């Protein structure tokens, strides 16, 4: 399902263009469940980045099913091998006419993982066009390694502290990537990317799922983190395995989610770019 040509493109450019994943009906059901689960929580908490949008696969069966979608895992296996963990997940929501945007950054800056083999699967639950602020990648930038970021105090930035690549990025080289609902793209943890404000009349929703091969470990902290095994074996035991949420077990799911998020924030204090994030 992932061709040799696409794998070569990933190696050379740091990303794979959108691939079919969900049917239109599946994408619509997933969108409705996401809006009910995450947006209502956002309205209640008045938060810019509420917890329900972080690792929702520990809270909601629909999200647990999505991160384990067989077709998605088949594509991932071609990229990172047969033993696959979910390390992190974020729901990205841009309301119609919103000025919020994601600055130029690298995902790997904030995770402290080594080796740098984390892959983000970005699943579109709505259209994501240029007008809506679709993803833009800087091809080949993952080969530069980790670059310096700085904090930026701007409420329009969707990252926690407005973390932005410190050096100038050549915008003319950026490649916009548009999605139809139900499509998924893949990008390397160090490829530089951004997304603009939503100038359209429709809501834009995407879910960024961070997958790692089981041999990857969290290297910069004494805190033992958790992750979800979604395919293969946990051969290296670098993470405590997370439970899958079950209907009728909401309290247990909430406790597991709270524990995982607390560990993540605690570990972040040992990563220079993440200190003071919360």
Please tell me which residue, 39 or 269, carries the higher pLDDT value.
Answer: 39
In three-state secondary structure terms, 185 is strand
pLDDT for residue 277 is more than 50: no
Domain ranges (residues) in the chain: 4-274
Q: Is 46 exposed, middle or buried (0-12, 13-18, 19+ CB in 10 A)?
A: exposed
Per the CB < 8 A criterion, the answer to whether 233 and 214 are in contact is: yes
CATH topology of domain 4-274: Jelly Rolls (2.60.120)
pLDDT for residue 159 is more than 80: no
Tell me the per-residue pLDDT of 73-104, one tens digit each, with 9 for 90 and over. 999 999 999 999 999 999 999 999 988 878 88
What ranges in 4-118 are assigned the alpha helix state H? Answer: 4-13, 24-34, 40-45, 61-67, 70-80
Cross-strand pairs, 177: 135
What is this structure's pTM? 0.92
Q: Is 20 exposed, middle or buried (0-12, 13-18, 19+ CB in 10 A)?
A: exposed
- Residue 38 is predicted with a pLDDT of 87
- Span of 7-11, 32-36, 237-241, 263-267 with lowest mean pLDDT: 263-267
The interaxial angle of helices 4-13 and 70-80, nearest 10 deg, is 60
Using DSSP bridges, classify how beta strands 240-241 and 226-231 pair: parallel, antiparallel or unpaired. Answer: parallel
Tell me the per-residue pLDDT of 221-230, one tens digit each, with 9 for 90 and over. 788 999 999 9
């Amino acid at each position: 399902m992932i061709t040799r040509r696409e794998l070569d493109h990933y190696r050379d450019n740091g990303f794979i263009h959108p691939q079919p994943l969900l049917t239109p009906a599946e994408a619509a059901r997933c969108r409705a469940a996401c809006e009910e689960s995450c947006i209502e929580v956002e309205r209640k908490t008045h938060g810019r980045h509420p917890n329900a949008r972080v690792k929702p696969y520990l809270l909601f069966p629909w999200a647990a099913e999505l991160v384990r979608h067989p077709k998605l895992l088949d594509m991932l296996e071609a990229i990172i091998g047969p033993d696959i963990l979910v390390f992190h997940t974020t729901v990205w929501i841009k309301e119609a006419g919103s000025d919020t945007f994601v600055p130029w950054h690298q995902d790997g800056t904030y995770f402290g993982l080594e080796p740098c083999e984390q892959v983000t699967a970005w699943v579109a639950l709505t259209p994501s066009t240029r007008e809506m602020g679709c993803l833009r990648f800087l091809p080949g930038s993952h080969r530069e390694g980790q670059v310096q970021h700085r904090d930026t105090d701007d409420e329009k930035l969707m990252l926690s502290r407005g973390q932005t690549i410190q050096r100038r990025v050549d915008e003319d080289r950026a490649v916009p990537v548009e999605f139809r609902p139900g499509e998924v793209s893949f990008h390397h943890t160090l490829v530089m990317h951004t997304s603009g404000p939503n100038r359209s009349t429709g809501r834009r929703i995407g879910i960024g799922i961070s997958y790692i091969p089981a041999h990857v470990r969290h290297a910069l902290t004494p805190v033992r983190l958790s992750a979800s095994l979604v395919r293969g074996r946990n051969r290296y035991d670098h993470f405590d395995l997370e439970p899958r949420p079950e209907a009728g077990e909401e309290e247990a799911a909430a406790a597991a989610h709270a524990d995982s998020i607390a560990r993540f924030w605690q570990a972040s204090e040992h990563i220079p770019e993440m200190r003071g994030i919360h």
